Amino acid sequence: MNSRAAEPGLDPLQARRPDKPRIGITKPAGKDWLVHLALSLSVRIAGGIPVKVTADQPRAPGEIDGLLLSGGLDLNPHLYEGEHDPARKYDDARDALEMAWARQAWDMDMPILAICRGCQLLNVSRGGDLLQAIDPEVLETYPTSPIGYALFRKDIDVNDNSRLATITGSNRLRVNSLHRQAVNQPGEDLHVTACESHGGVQAIESDAAHFVLGVQFHPELLIHRRDMRAIFGAFVSACRPS
């Protein structure tokens, strides 16, 4: 009998396709369905099976082969000794879930792809901190509409020989922008591998043997492009059970 068929919490599709890696995609409970659908589609195109991970469905390590930390609300500043902003909304339940998962996945050598908020959370989970507010002069160069944010292109420079450059085949990428915070000081065993023109961090990586990549942009919203699909392809390939 297929070993996955007996595991609790797996849907029939997961049980029928043991060759496909199961990708845990974090999201807030009951929210952000559009982004989650885009991420799920990106994972499926890359050959993986998306598994929703929320505070209501936290999952267990045996249920997933890779961790995808998704975008969303700002992290609560208390996680990195930042200043509380009463004008911001926070999701403490999600923060706690994802911090625990980020640390556990790292300790297990589980492949990690972290996007936008996820990139920031990955950094904080390793003891790094965040730039709580991007310079207003920089933000003024970004569009203000949701569609504009999702499709807006800006050029970022990617370090030669980095994982991101190897995956995309380029040391210069055109990406979108939906963020108002960013990585500041990289956490333990993480280093910056891509920046935009004003120096803002756009990617972090680890030299660890297992796949660890955080990007500040949203490749799932640019999935029509080969270089963005390549990011999911490399991640899902790294998650395939040996």
Contact 173, 158 (CB under 8 A): yes
Active-site residue (options: 36, 63, 98, 116): 116
Catalytic residue among 63, 196, 205, 220: 220
Query: Rounded to an integer, what distance in angstroms lies between the CA atom of residue 83 and that of residue 86?
Result: 10
Known catalytic membership, residue 84: no
Inter-residue contact 196 to 153 (CB < 8 Å): no
Catalytic residue (choose from 196, 205, 218, 239)? 218
- Residue 187 CB partners (closer than 8 Å, separation 6+): 122, 123, 124, 125, 126, 127, 128
> 182-183 and 154-158: which strand pairing?
unpaired
Q: Could you confirm whether 205 is annotated as catalytic? A: no
CA distance 176 to 133: 18
**CB neighbours of 198 closer than 8 A, spacing ≥ 6?**
135, 138
218 catalytic, yes or no? yes
Nearest alpha-carbon partner for 213 in 233, 184, 242: 233
Neighbouring CB atoms inside 10 A of 189's CB total 13
Residue 166: partners with Cβ closer than 8 Å, 6 or more residues away: none
Q: Write out the two tokens for 202.
A: 């756009």
| SS3 state of residue 153 | coil
Known catalytic residues are 116, 218, 220
